[in-house]
Amino acid sequence: MASSTVYKKYQSKCDYSYTLGAFPTIELLKNKPDKVIKILIHPDMDSEEQLDILNELCNKNKIELCKSKAEVERLRDKENIYCIGIFNKYDEKLKDSKGHVVLVNPGDMGNLGTIIRTAIGFGIDDLAIIEPAADIFNPKAVRASMGALFQLRFRRYASFDEYESENKGREFFPFMLKGATDLQMLDKSHVDKYALIFGNEATGLPDEFANKGTSVLIRHEKTIDSLNLSMACGIALYEFTK
Amino acid sequence: MASSTVYKKYQSKCDYSYTLGAFPTIELLKNKPDKVIKILIHPDMDSEEQLDILNELCNKNKIELCKSKAEVERLRDKENIYCIGIFNKYDEKLKDSKGHVVLVNPGDMGNLGTIIRTAIGFGIDDLAIIEPAADIFNPKAVRASMGALFQLRFRRYASFDEYESENKGREFFPFMLKGATDLQMLDKSHVDKYALIFGNEATGLPDEFANKGTSVLIRHEKTIDSLNLSMACGIALYEFTK
């Protein structure tokens, strides 16, 4: 894409997106330099340390770094944003690693970000998203992940079947309120490769997932309807990566 | 307080607060009817089921239920709010129950709400908040807890020392990045009553907490600085209430 393109405020139909702020922009440059189109710096940016890192990473990867007050001010969503990374959206093949997280129709960008951060925190670097789903490339989701998005592999699938056919030889653990096995009681000693599967925030997983592998319940009191999605996912990740 | 009082948009210095929406208002009426000043209903509210529940709970507890378009529209923060509960703020004595959660200087109302919901989900009904802290009575925190706030006991303390002197005979588990014991390795078999202690989102617990009881670490990869506060708290609650 020519750098003379006029970039607009983010829309999900764009084939590019933004990192808003120095922190996620540095994570982008460190982890996905080949996806970067260019970096924009506002002249009021005053952190010498961050500027040095940005300059170094751009030089090393031959990425254009432009000072542009007008462009940063047009694209940012908060006044305290002085650095923006523009990058091409991408999809990656998941690795046949030990653990996958599969989110079926996640609806909330904040949850997506928190789950991504927690997943890499527990060493799980492969994420499948079954569409329709919240837009993982929305700058708000990128921000919620605090840049962790660029540290894992993720792939969007049109259906769970598509995920399943592309990722064979893996035990499925759908987390459901009707789960047959209590997470605390689950014997994971024989488990080789696994997929932890979670449904939408409001509706959970469809009933048919009860027949896919071993359905799991995180037991809780009846005082609440359910744990929130990112919490359930974090607890499952903690337990499976012990 | 006379019901002729003119109520204003929420401010933390007020001695009353609001539940915005039918769901938290019903939780308020069910769990803390003695704190309710009155209930406001917008004439456009159209859920007969919710109206029936609100009417029944107000009748039973002799609480005034007013139809008032103007007052609801003045106090609500979103257009889809048709029901508001006005209640007196309160503090309660914590019970000498098995588990306490102690939040030292929590800064984020969304986290407070998520933690409250998760705590009661795992059967922990006593929460201490060490000030300065995010305002637990802010309608946004009440909303984030989805009304769970009214189902637990909580008490605000000016200092941790104050909490400590009022709640004796309890083992302390401060959760810290420098924690001496890995949560996975922690032998909890001998633990009778406990307090799970967490610091501020950005700064964690001050170093001196390392000497209070058994400091605990939730091990994670170096790819992230730390787990987020509500996630760490949820994982600890899960592990301690197994």
Strand partners, B104: B130
Mean pLDDT of chain A: 94
* A231 Cβ under 8 Å from any chain B Cβ: yes
B10 occurs within a structural domain: no
Q: Which residue has the tokens 């650095």?
A: A83
Q: Are residues B59 and B150 in the same domain?
A: no
**Which domain-ending residue is among A88, A109, A130?**
A88
**Which domain-ending residue is among B41, B60, B88?**
B88
The pair of structure tokens assigned to B80 is 């889809």
Q: Which residues of chain A have a CB within 8 Å of the CB of B123?
A: 221
B1 occurs within a structural domain: no
The total number of structural domains in chain A stands at 2
Contact A231 B234 (CB under 8 A): yes
B234 occurs within a structural domain: yes
Q: Rounded distance, CA B108 to CA B133, Å? A: 8
Question: Is residue B2 scored above 60 in pLDDT?
Answer: no
* B97 Cβ under 8 Å from any chain A Cβ: no
Mean pLDDT of B215-221: 96
Q: Which residues of chain B have a CB within 8 Å of the CB of A184?
A: 242
Helix (H, G, I), strand (E, B) or coil at A46: coil
Contact A221 B123 (CB under 8 A): yes
pLDDT band at A220 (very low <50, low <70, confident <90, very high): very high
Q: Which residues of chain B have a CB within 8 Å of the CB of A122?
A: 220-221
Q: Rounded distance, CA A137 to CA A15, Å? A: 10
The pair of structure tokens assigned to A154 is 């993720």
Mean pLDDT of B163-175: 96
Mean pLDDT of A11-22: 94
Q: Which residues in chain A belong to E strands, given as ranges?
A: 16-20, 36-41, 65-67, 83-88, 99-104, 126-130, 153-157, 171-174, 181-182, 194-198, 216-217
Nearest to B60 by CA among B33, B84, B85: B33
Supply φ then ψ for residue B27, to 5 degrees.
Answer: -65, -40
Contact A148 B223 (CB under 8 A): yes
* A230 Cβ under 8 Å from any chain B Cβ: yes
Instruction: Tell me the nearest-neighbour CA distance from B5 into chain A, angstroms.
Output: 34
Beta strands B83-88; B16-20: pairing state: antiparallel
Q: Which residues of chain A have a CB within 8 Å of the CB of B143?
A: none
pLDDT at residue B6 in the model: 86
Q: Which residues of chain B have a CB within 8 Å of the CB of A30?
A: none
> Does ipTM come in above 0.90?
no
pLDDT at residue A5 in the model: 80
Question: Is residue A197 scored above 90 in pLDDT?
Answer: yes
Burial A101-133 (b: 16+ CB within 10 A, else e): bbbbbbebbebbbbbbbbbbbbebbbbbbbeeb
Contact A234 B218 (CB under 8 A): no
Question: Is residue B197 scored above 90 in pLDDT?
Answer: yes
Mean pLDDT of A55-77: 95
* A72 Cβ under 8 Å from any chain B Cβ: no
**Which domain-ending residue is among B88, B118, B144?**
B88
Instruction: Tell me the nearest-neighbour CA distance from A235 into chain B, angstroms.
Output: 5
pLDDT at residue B4 in the model: 66
Residue A5, judged by CB atoms within 10 A of its CB (0-12, 13-18, 19+), counts as exposed
pLDDT of B4-19, one tens digit each? 688 989 999 999 999 9
Maximal C-alpha separation, chain B: 58
Contact A230 B231 (CB under 8 A): yes
A26 occurs within a structural domain: yes
Contact B238 A242 (CB under 8 A): no
pLDDT at residue A139 in the model: 94
Mean pLDDT of A86-90: 96
Residue among B120, B227, B238 minimizing CB distance to A224: B120
Q: Which residue has the tokens 């792939």?
A: A155
Q: Please report the DSSP string for B189-220 in residue order.
A: TT--SEEEEE-BTTTBS-GGGGGSS--EE---
B94 occurs within a structural domain: no
Contact A224 B117 (CB under 8 A): yes
- Please give the residue of chain B at the shortest CA–CA distance from A222: B121
Nearest to B36 by CA among B92, B71, B85: B85
pLDDT of B95-148, one tens digit each? 999 999 999 999 999 899 999 999 999 999 999 999 999 999 999 999 888 889
Helix (H, G, I), strand (E, B) or coil at A233: helix
Q: Are residues B39 and B130 in the same domain?
A: no
Q: Rounded distance, CA A50 to CA A55, Å? A: 9
pLDDT of A139-196, one tens digit each? 999 988 888 999 999 999 999 999 999 999 999 999 999 999 999 999 998 999 999 9
Cβ atoms A160, A124 nearer than 8 A: no
Q: Are residues A66 and A140 in the same domain?
A: no
* A199 Cβ under 8 Å from any chain B Cβ: no
* B23 Cβ under 8 Å from any chain A Cβ: no
The reported pTM is: 0.91
Residue among A120, A148, A227 minimizing CB distance to B118: A227
Question: Is residue B1 scored above 80 in pLDDT?
Answer: no
Q: Are residues A112 and A56 in the same domain?
A: no
The pair of structure tokens assigned to A207 is 């009933």
Contact A120 B242 (CB under 8 A): no
* Residue-range definition of the domain harbouring residue A33: 16-88
Q: Are residues A213 and A108 in the same domain?
A: yes
Q: Are residues B159 and B234 in the same domain?
A: yes
What is the enclosing helix (H) or strand (E) of B240? helix B229-240
pLDDT at residue A4 in the model: 66
Mean pLDDT of B47-70: 95
CATH of the domain at A53: 3.30.1330.30
Contact B221 A117 (CB under 8 A): no
Supply φ then ψ for residue B36, to 5 degrees.
Answer: -80, 135
- Alpha helices, DSSP H only, in A92-175? 109-121, 139-144, 160-166
B117 occurs within a structural domain: yes
Q: Are residues A50 and A108 in the same domain?
A: no
CATH of the domain at B211: 3.40.1280.10
pLDDT band at B195 (very low <50, low <70, confident <90, very high): very high
Q: Are residues B76 and B134 in the same domain?
A: no
* A238 Cβ under 8 Å from any chain B Cβ: yes
Residue among B223, B227, B231 minimizing CB distance to A151: B223
Contact A228 B148 (CB under 8 A): no
Q: Are residues A75 and A103 in the same domain?
A: no
Contact B120 A242 (CB under 8 A): no
Mean pLDDT of A109-136: 95
Question: Is residue B22 scored above 60 in pLDDT?
Answer: yes
- Please give the residue of chain B at the shortest CA–CA distance from A224: B121
Nearest to B116 by CA among B133, B98, B103: B103
* A235 Cβ under 8 Å from any chain B Cβ: yes
CA B204 to the chain's CA centroid: 19
B198 occurs within a structural domain: yes
Q: Are residues A110 and A229 in the same domain?
A: yes
* A138 Cβ under 8 Å from any chain B Cβ: no
Mean pLDDT of chain B: 94
A4 occurs within a structural domain: no
- Please give the residue of chain B at the shortest CA–CA distance from A227: B118
Question: Is residue A3 scored above 70 in pLDDT?
Answer: no
Q: Are residues A81 and A111 in the same domain?
A: no
Q: Which residues of chain B have a CB within 8 Å of the CB of A99?
A: none
Q: Are residues B164 and B233 in the same domain?
A: yes
